[in-house]
Structure 1
Amino acid sequence: MAIPSQIAAEIVDPKAYADGKRVDEALAWLRKNAPLDVAEVEGFDPFWAVTRHADILLVERQNELFHNGDRSTVLTTIEADKKVREMMGGSPHLVRSLVQMDNPDHMNYRRLTQAWFLPQNIRKLEDRIREIARGFIDKMADKGGECDFSRDVAFLYPLHVIMEVLGVPEIDEPRMLTLTQELFGSSDPEVNRTGKEMTDADEALAAIQGTVVDFMTYFNAMTEDRRQNPRDDLASVIANGAIEGQPLGHLEAMSYYIIAATAGHDTTSNTTAGALWALAENPDQFKKLKNDLSFIPSMIEESIRWETPVKHFMRTATADTELAGKQIKKGDWLFLSYPSGNRDEAVFDDPFSFKVDRSPNKHVAFGYGAHVCIGQHLARMEMRILWEELLPRLESVELNGTPTRTQANFVSGPKSVPIRFKMS
């Protein structure tokens, strides 16, 4: 069954993700009626919409058959793709991070920092992260029972943690937050750098490019410094790293910094804000969690599933193949819909309910296989520490206004979560 144009348009529309309900309904329709089919949307090349949990895993498992780097790794318009290729000497990527790489580069570049993010190595950060978490919770307590949990806590706490890991001074954190939001929220007039809806491809690309250039200027200076004065931080690993005996290429090094400085906090921020929003809307779940803090780990997994901050990645078939009974041709583009996989009725019982004790919870929010999120253990640890510190003190919480989401179809989550609360 071909995907109706209205449904196809919904799953690419940033406003549908800001609405939440609209995109959920479109994806639920697809899972039921056309779980793997071609979407045709004006202005975009046709792509396969992969909406079932099992099919997403099948694609993610086969890294040689489904590449990240051959075409844009993020859904982009025909016009924007053409302009990026003109700008980047034929490459479809403005940046070249782990996300845009295939083997052998992916493996080599991942190995460079992998040790930093292993559970046994991030344990040494636990005490410091707990200190940071307590600082933010004390500030929240001083707000007098009302705050915007997104802006006052969820955005700032993971930002501070990853900037310390990276080696960015605290004074520069607001700049890093602004640049991250401009990059991921480029289609949201409230957070992009133009302050308006961008309908012109040239204007939109120029805005994103401006953000990338600002990041690169900043991290270029940091690279120079860390080559002269290496420290025990991630920036020193990137600045002095070598792949097969050669220093990292300029684009690759800058891209490494950018992904650490953006995905390293924004996804955790979105999940944390989404969790408190869900708890405020589900007092029975808040009570269950409050009465038994041993549910914190399962609540964290549920909040990751619930929010699914990374909405999609694209893959490109490297050969003709069959997937779920459909014939995929070499060069075909596939849209992996993670929110859809995480609401798949075949995998999750009552998927549209937030359950702090959900088990099992085999969500696909961190990806799967070779490209699974390198920072997942740090993200879980940050969230665990925050909830371990906050929940014993948080007596009650409710919404104090209407939360809003960022308008974006790639990485997005709550923009504002106004709450009223009591704390001890």
Structure 2
Amino acid sequence: MSVMTREDHRIPATYADTLVQPWAYANGQIHETYRWLRKNEPFGQAVIEGFDPFWVATKHADILEISRQNDLFHNGDRNPVLTTKAIDEQVRAMMGGSPHLLRTLIHMDAPDHLKYRALTQAWFMPQNLRKMEDRIRVIAKATVEKMAATGGECDFVKEVALGYPLHVIMSIMGVPEEDEPRMLQLTQEIFGAADPELSRHKDTDFSAAAAPQKIDISVITDFFEYFRALSERKRANPSDDLGSVIANSQIDGQPISDFEALSYYIIVATAGHDTTSSSTGALWALAEHPGELAKLHADPSLIPGLVDESIRWTTPVKTFMRTVTADTEFAGRRLKKDDWLMLCYASGNRDEDVFEDPFTFRVDRKPNKHLAFGYGAHLCLGQHLAKMEMRILWEEMIPRLRSVELAGEPAMSEAVFVNGPKRLPIRFELA
């Protein structure tokens, strides 16, 4: 059988365009595109005005296979986050030819990736996290009491989902509690740059026809300024926290650069809470499926299953990009060196070949081989912390949650990279 070319597998424009539209990830239309692609063009190429062409992996098996082959599919050769041609050109002009405004773990390949990952990996291993469980449970209990104090109606995102994981990761990093609102605002601005409600520039025209073609690095600059001061304090007076580990880290006997340290702070400070807050937003699903809450009341041992189903259901990290390092064949297609491709995790987590009835939320789903944390060398560093935080929160909340229902119109954030609930009005009864 002959190997097919990109021209044979070009995704129809109607579906291809959806892949780059932030609103499609907010209103759920992206799932209709994914469903069509999995059935008709599971590894096709999107050709969209203003973007370099990119291959699109929508099947669970293909995403796994690409994630296994880190030498063939690189993170760092190009931007690992979808970006336009115009912005890519501006970043390269600003950064001396580099496509990256930051240099975090997601921007690295071997051998650097493993070396930099090892700097903090011990902090996120289960044996170390177990020491923090009591501390995290205190935060979870206080969070549930805060929810109870609202009197039976609240915006779950605002009152619970945002603050709980934020407080956990900032306390681990050694960020003062009074600075947490600032960290939350900056995180929302960096991940919600394309969302009219979350963006720093709310007066911008966010229509597709007027999509901004200039990059604004003011949010990153603000992050840098904050963490530069924090890093100086942690170097002068190190303590038993993750911020001190990063500030005083060395690679091959030499201190890491300020740029790398500041980048490290940003990825931990943002991904360390935003993705978890999005996953706890799965209370939306419990509000719509009271039978699943009844299962949890009847059998609390299902709570770990609720954690995994919450993560599969929301899949906060929707996409990552990879770059092909050599001419190759994959999924019956001819790929060329420097080809760009998109891993669609939310599609893999709805793959009908892997998940029975994938569009149904089931707290007792087994097995649940979701891809929300990635796979291979770039498996999420904080996955164990995220799951522990969610488990503890649900353990404190679910036994007391007699009922929950929607009390208004929920909304998802508009973003192609990382998104989740931004509003979740609920009416509830807590024991």
TM-score w.r.t. length of structure 1: 0.98
SS in structure 1 of the partner of residue 50 of structure 2: coil
Aligned equivalent of 2:286: 279
Q: Percent identity?
A: 62
Aligned equivalent of 2:145: 138
Aligned equivalent of 1:163: 170
State how far apart, in whole Å, the 1-side matches of 2:426 and 2:380 are: 30
State how far apart, in whole Å, the 1-side matches of 2:385 and 2:167 are: 13
Contact 2:10–2:47, Cα closer than 8 Å, also in 1:
no
Shift of 1:81: 0.3
State how far apart, in whole Å, the 1-side matches of 2:289 and 2:61 are: 29
SS in structure 2 of the partner of residue 327 of structure 1: strand
Aligned equivalent of 1:214: 222
The one-letter code matched in structure 1 to 2:337 is K
Q: Would you say 1:6 and 2:26 are equivalent positions?
A: no
State how far apart, in whole Å, the 1-side matches of 2:312 and 2:329 are: 28
State how far apart, in whole Å, the 2-side matches of 1:384 and 1:105 are: 33
Aligned equivalent of 2:363: 356
State how far apart, in whole Å, the 2-side matches of 1:319 and 1:254 are: 32
Shift of 1:290: 1.7
Contact 1:304–1:365, Cα closer than 8 Å, also in 2:
yes
The one-letter code matched in structure 2 to 1:247 is P
Aligned pair count reads: 419
Runs of 4+ in 1 over 4 A off after TM superposition: none
1:195-242 superposed Cα distances (whole Å, 9 cap, x missing partner): 133445454x11xx1000000000000111111100000110000000
State how far apart, in whole Å, the 2-side matches of 1:305 and 1:156 are: 22
Aligned equivalent of 2:127: 120
Q: Would you say 1:268 and 2:276 are equivalent positions?
A: yes
Aligned equivalent of 2:239: 231
The one-letter code matched in structure 2 to 1:258 is I
TM-score w.r.t. length of structure 2: 0.96
Q: Would you say 1:248 and 2:252 are equivalent positions?
A: no
Q: Would you say 1:393 and 2:400 are equivalent positions?
A: yes
Deviates most, 47-56 or 323-332: 323-332
> Which runs of 5 or more residues in structure 1 are unaligned?
none
Aligned equivalent of 1:88: 95
1:9-57 superposed Cα distances (whole Å, 9 cap, x missing partner): 011110000101x110001000000000110111000000110000000
Contact 1:84–1:93, Cα closer than 8 Å, also in 2:
yes
Q: Would you say 1:43 and 2:50 are equivalent positions?
A: yes
Shift of 1:2: 2.5
Aligned equivalent of 1:23: 30
Contact 1:80–1:201, Cα closer than 8 Å, also in 2:
no
Summarize the Cα distance change of 1:28–1:200 in structure 2 as closer, same or farther, 3 Å threshold: closer
Shift of 1:357: 0.2
1:42-74 superposed Cα distances (whole Å, 9 cap, x missing partner): 100000011000000010000111000000100
The one-letter code matched in structure 1 to 2:155 is D
Aligned equivalent of 2:330: 323
Q: Would you say 1:369 and 2:369 are equivalent positions?
A: no
State how far apart, in whole Å, the 2-side matches of 1:202 and 1:233 are: 39
RMSD: 0.8
Shift of 1:393: 1.0
Shift of 1:243: 0.4
1:127-149 superposed Cα distances (whole Å, 9 cap, x missing partner): 01000000010011010100000
The one-letter code matched in structure 1 to 2:93 is E
The one-letter code matched in structure 2 to 1:4 is P
Contact 1:79–1:201, Cα closer than 8 Å, also in 2:
no
Q: Would you say 1:414 and 2:426 are equivalent positions?
A: no
